[in-house]
Amino acid sequence: MHTRVRRSPITSVSVVVLSAGFYSVLQLFKTPKRSTRRMTTYALVGDVGGTNARLALCEVENGSISQAKTFATSDYDSLEAVIRHYLDEQKQDIKDGCIAIACPITDDWVEMTNHDWAFSTKKLKENIGFEHLEIINDFTAVSMAIPMLGAEHVIQFGGKEPIKDKPVAIYGAGTGLGVSHLVHVDKRWVSLPGEGGHVDFAANSEEEDQILEVLREELGHVSAERVLSGAGLVNLYRAIVKVDHRVPENLKPKEVSERALADSCTDCRRALSLFCVIMGRFGGNLALNLGTFGGVYIAGGIVPRFLEFFKSSGFRAAFEDKGRFRDYVATIPVYMITHDQPGLLGAGAHLRQTLGRII
């Protein structure tokens, strides 16, 4: 009588290995482990100005930026041509994108302020085969970068700690004066772009009254941007000289700041000092507008060129110089953004939030 022996199926965990050679053969029967790693999904992000177009990839899950590249806008006939060039290099399956552009964005048709590119957002999306494409203002992008910034990406100028989810103000003096606000609504960040750089320049001293009078004779309407920008720094220098009934030199913004820092020109140094004070006063006004206890942020522009001078200037005192509301703004922190690509970071944050991610 024979005893029936049940034979167990061969598996990688039940086999008794009798030799190294036999073991090697059995490895072929192993069921491969299923990968739990998700495929990385990228989106296209961009920051486009009159001179350069910066494009990069944004990892949709965490917002990290990679493969950033800068293109001269003068080398391409259109934004579409730049995008196609970049995507051909990356060889990724990209279906979503967000491009920040330095011009007002009001509808489908976009015309750049400092370049001759003009296009339909809808048509651009169709031509490059995207499922989702957003074109936003450059300062909207910078504002959306704020929640993504770490302590290593900013320098603080006075005030206390920011209050979580409270309104934020962002401004920057460069070619022009960009302004935006950021508010937290229903677990989402909402950027409030506008043209705040074109509000009236509000003189607040006898010297500023005299400067305003000179500039009004030359320009007519004097906006804040006429004094808080690269050209504005030159306007301040020229007005200071003219108030003293002298003839100003034909200087560029860089020359004014360099002479001021070298302490080789009293008029240039006074212009730069006054620029910092007016920057502070303007920032304090933004803080009052929305109660920006989440902080006021200075984005790039020309200020980093004279950072040490700025630190020791009258900026913070002017920021807090609000009379009866001095105590109100005294606790509000001011930061300078030092991240090298806030526009790309913010374009990615804007897109990720649109796609349902929490930033």
Interior/surface letters 265-302, b for 16+ CB within 10 angstroms, e for the rest? bebbbbbbbbbbbbbbbbbbbbbeebebbbbbbbbbbb
pLDDT (0 to 100) of residue 12: 40
pLDDT (0 to 100) of residue 315: 98
Tokens representing residue 316 in the block: 């913070």
Q: Which domains does the chain have, with CATH numbers?
A: 42-149+339-354 (3.30.420.40), 196-337 (3.40.367.20)
Question: Residues marked as binding?
Answer: 46-51
Tell me the pLDDT band of 17, cut-offs 50, 70 and 90: very low
Query: Is residue 332 predicted with pLDDT exceeding 60?
Result: yes
Mean pLDDT rounded to a whole number for the chain: 89
**What is the share, in percent, of the chain residues with pLDDT greater than 70?**
89
Query: Is residue 155 predicted with pLDDT exceeding 60?
Result: yes
pLDDT (0 to 100) of residue 28: 35
| First-last CA distance in the chain | 74
Contact between 230 and 174 (Cβ < 8 Å): yes
Tokens representing residue 90 in the block: 């990356």
Dihedral of CA atoms 160, 161, 166, 168 in degrees, nearest 10, equals 70
Please give the single-letter amino acid code of residue 286.
L
Residues 18-64 pLDDT 10s: 344 433 333 433 443 433 334 459 999 999 988 899 999 999 999 99
Strands 154-156 and 334-337: antiparallel
Interior/surface letters 327-340, b for 16+ CB within 10 angstroms, e for the rest? eebeebbbbbbebe
pLDDT (0 to 100) of residue 10: 40
Residues 265-313 pLDDT 10s: 999 999 999 999 999 999 999 999 999 999 999 998 899 999 999 999 9
Kindly give, in sequence order, each residue whose CB lies less than 8 Å from that of residue 170, ignoring residues fewer than 6 positions away: 139, 142, 143, 146, 178, 179, 180, 181, 182, 296, 297, 298, 299
| Cα distances (angstroms) measured from residue 198 to each of 97, 210, 221 | 30, 20, 10
pLDDT (0 to 100) of residue 19: 41
pLDDT (0 to 100) of residue 40: 58
Interior/surface letters 95-111, b for 16+ CB within 10 angstroms, e for the rest? ebbbbbbbbebeeeebe
- Supply the DSSP string of 59-102, one letter for each residue: ETTT--EEEEEEEEGGG-S-HHHHHHHHHHHH-----EEEEEES
Tell me the pLDDT band of 9, cut-offs 50, 70 and 90: very low
Query: Which DSSP helix (H) or strand (E) runs through 119?
Result: strand 118-120
Question: Residues marked as binding for ATP?
Answer: 46-51
Tell me the pLDDT band of 357, cut-offs 50, 70 and 90: confident
Query: Is residue 236 predicted with pLDDT exceeding 60?
Result: yes
| Cα distances (angstroms) measured from residue 39 to each of 45, 323, 354 | 19, 56, 20
**Whose CA is closest to 68, among 80, 54, 82, 89?**
54
CA 172 – CA 298 distance, rounded (Å): 5
Mean pLDDT of 139-162: 96
Query: Which DSSP helix (H) or strand (E) runs through 334?
Result: strand 334-337
**Whose CA is closest to 266, among 281, 283, 285, 249?**
249
DSSP tally for the chain: helices H, then strands E: 12, 13
CA 339 – CA 135 distance, rounded (Å): 22
Mean pLDDT of 165-174: 96
CA angle 327, 329, 331 (to 5 degrees): 80
Residues 77-134 pLDDT 10s: 999 999 999 999 998 999 999 999 988 898 999 999 778 999 999 999 999 999 999 9
